[in-house]
């Protein structure tokens, strides 16, 4: 019979709008995720009026069925989106409510009731090594200086007599930062930029002499392996004073080597090259494992390479405005991590960076 029941396309479409509006109200009224679950079942579940309407589409003539079908699908997906939005919002609200319910006013914590631990923690091996080295140098009359880890090309390279594109830059594969013009800001590859800062400041304040050691974190683009880390620690020393000679440098290296590693460990200096020192030297220390007898660790030589040093190059003095006719100076540097590795026979340097308490609690 025409115009009656589900076979009337207009009526069906009108019903759909009303059904959808009702469904949306039901969903929006849900104020908890549990209520929302129920609302979703009621409005979009198998027994919901809209599901009924979808089943009823089959009885329409093809033309009407197509139009009503499209319409129904649109409504259906917008209701699903509404459910998703409501769910996210309710979850957020419930999370916030839970966090609020969990509230603790830190001003009213009764400290006497806080459990106090009986276990003592452990300092990191690198940090205790740094302190121990600082203490040795402090006892020798050095101040401890620090500076930024991100540096300009000037401080990290150029003032140290390493101009742009200088082949010596190959010795220091650098991380560049996306700051300023390309390749003007680097993560310092050594703590030497602090030497420049110290000298500049001393010139500005007319406060030479300088006797300082500079510990700190450095960065080089080296693949991590048992004896290298891209993030590592170094300590450098700088002395600028009247009458400072290579003999003073050699004596200083020997003194701190023996003071830190013990009376059986000595240093030797070999000629080397660094753009910022002249004459330059590398220094080895008595192998800490075999005490010079020769073993696998030192490749049978009895010596382990520790660091580099030399007399401050006149070009570096020129860059900071120190008169090399009046002042002379020396600088030296070596790895703190490497020191720790040598003294404590750490097989793989990467364990310093792993934060594994089974390693850390040994020291």
For another protein, the closer CB: 76 or 283: 283
143 closest CA partner among 237, 258, 256: 237
| Size of residue set near another protein by CB under 8 A | 117
What mask of x and - would describe binding to another protein in positions 321 to 340, judged by CB under 8 A? Answer: ---x---x------------
Structure tokens at 36: 């929302």
Stretch that binds another protein, among 40-48, 56-64, 68-76, 183-191 (CB under 8 A): 183-191
Q: Which is nearer to another protein, 69 or 324 (CB)?
A: 324
Which one, 39 or 218, has the nearer CB to another protein?
218
Q: Are 167 and 202 in contact (CB under 8 A)?
A: no
CB closer to another protein out of 59 and 245: 245
Q: Which of 305, 311, 328 is nearest to 257 (CA)?
A: 305
Find, among 203, 188, 178, the residue nearest to 154 by Cα.
188
Q: Is 176 in the site for another protein (CB under 8 A)?
A: yes
- CB neighbours of residue 360 within 10 Å: 16
Which positions from 137 through 156 interact with another protein, judged by CB under 8 A?
137-144, 146, 148-155
Q: For the residues of 5-34, what is the DSSP string, one character each?
A: GGG-HHHHHHHHHHHHHHHHHHHHH--SHH
Based on the shown chain and the rule CB under 8 A, indicate whether residue 108 belongs to the binding site for another protein.
yes
Q: Which is nearer to another protein, 296 or 358 (CB)?
A: 358
Q: Is 264 in the site for another protein (CB under 8 A)?
A: no
**Options 17-25, 34-42, 53-61, 211-219: segment touching another protein (CB under 8 A):** 211-219
Minimum CB–partner distance for residue 32 and another protein (Å): 19
Span near another protein by CB under 8 A; candidates 5-13, 48-56, 60-68, 244-252:
244-252
**φ, ψ for residue 205, nearest 5 deg:** -95, 0
Rule CB under 8 A: which of 338-357 touch another protein? 352-357
- The interface with another protein within residues 40-99 (CB under 8 A) comprises 95-96, 99
295 touches another protein (CB under 8 A): no
Single out the residue of 66, 221, 264, 344 in contact with another protein (rule: CB under 8 A).
221
Tell me the C-alpha distance between 313 and 321, whole Å: 12
What DSSP letter does each residue of 39-93 carry, written as one string?
HHHHHHSTTSHHHHHHHHGGGS-HHHHHHHHHHHHHHHHHHHHHHHHHHHHHHHH
**Which one of residues 6, 13, 56, 168 is an interface residue with another protein (CB under 8 A)?**
168
Cα(192)–Cα(210) distance, rounded to whole angstroms?
A: 14
For the segment 112-131, give every residue that binds another protein (CB under 8 A).
112-124, 126-127, 131
Q: What residues numbered 304-323 form the site for another protein, per CB under 8 A?
A: 311, 313-315, 318
The C-alpha atoms of residue 129 and residue 137 are separated, in whole angstroms, by 12
Shortest CB 266 distance to another protein, Å: 10
Which helix (H) or strand (E) segment is 99 a member of?
helix 62-101
User: Looking at 280, 286, 288, 341, which residue binds another protein (CB under 8 A)?
Assistant: 280
Residue 220: which residues within 8 A CB-CB, separation 6 or more?
172, 173, 174, 175, 189, 230, 232
Quick check: 260 and 339 in contact, CB under 8 A? yes
Query: Binding to another protein by residue 263, rule CB under 8 A?
Result: no
Report how far residue 301's alpha carbon sits from residue 295's, in angstroms, rounded to the nearest whole number.
7
Nearer Cβ to another protein (9/302): 302
Query: Any contact of residue 206 with another protein (CB under 8 A)?
Result: no
Choose which of 84, 177, 201, 293 interacts with another protein (CB under 8 A).
Answer: 177
Does position 33 bind another protein by CB under 8 A? Answer: no
Q: Which of residues 222-241 bind another protein (CB under 8 A)?
A: 223, 230-231, 239, 241
Question: For residue 301, what is the DSSP state?
Answer: S
Contact flag: residue 296 with another protein (CB under 8 A): no
């Amino acid at each position: 019979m025409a115009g009656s029941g589900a076979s009337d396309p207009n009526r069906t479409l009108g019903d759909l709008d009303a059904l959808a509006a009702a469904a949306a109200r039901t969903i929006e009224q849900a104020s908890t995720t549990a209520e929302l679950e129920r609302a979703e079942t009621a409005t979009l579940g198998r027994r919901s009026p809209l599901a009924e309407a979808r089943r009823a589409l089959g009885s329409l003539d093809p033309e009407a069925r197509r139009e009503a079908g499209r319409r129904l699908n649109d409504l259906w997906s917008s209701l699903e989106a509404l459910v998703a939005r409501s769910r996210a919002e309710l979850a957020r609200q419930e999370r916030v409510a839970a966090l609020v319910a969990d509230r603790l006013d830190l001003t009213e914590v009764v400290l006497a009731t806080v459990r106090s631990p009986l276990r003592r923690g452990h300092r990191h091996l690198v940090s205790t090594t740094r302190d121990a080295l600082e203490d040795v140098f402090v006892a020798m009359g050095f101040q401890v200086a620090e500076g930024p880890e991100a540096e300009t090309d000037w401080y990290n390279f150029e003032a140290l007599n390493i101009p742009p594109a200088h082949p010596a830059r190959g010795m220091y594969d650098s991380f560049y930062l996306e700051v300023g013009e390309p390749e003007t800001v680097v993560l310092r590859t050594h703590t030497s930029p602090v030497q420049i800062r110290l000298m500049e400041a001393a010139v500005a304040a007319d406060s030479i002499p300088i006797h300082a050691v500079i510990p700190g974190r450095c960065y080089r683009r080296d693949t991590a392996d048992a004896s290298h880390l891209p993030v590592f620690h170094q300590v450098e020393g700088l002395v600028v004073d009247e009458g400072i000679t290579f003999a003073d440098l050699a004596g200083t290296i020997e003194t701190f080597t023996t003071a830190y590693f013990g009376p059986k460990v000595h240093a030797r200096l070999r000629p080397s090259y660094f753009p910022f020192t002249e004459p330059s030297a590398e220094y080895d220390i008595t192998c800490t494992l075999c005490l010079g007898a020769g073993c696998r660790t030192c490749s049978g030589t009895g010596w382990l390479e520790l660091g580099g040093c030399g007399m401050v190059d006149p070009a570096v003095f020129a860059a900071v405005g120190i008169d090399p006719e009046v002042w002379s100076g020396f600088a030296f540097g070596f790895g703190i991590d490497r020191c720790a590795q040598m003294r404590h026979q750490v097989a793989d340097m990467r364990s310093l960076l792993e934060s594994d308490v089974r390693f850390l609690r040994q020291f």
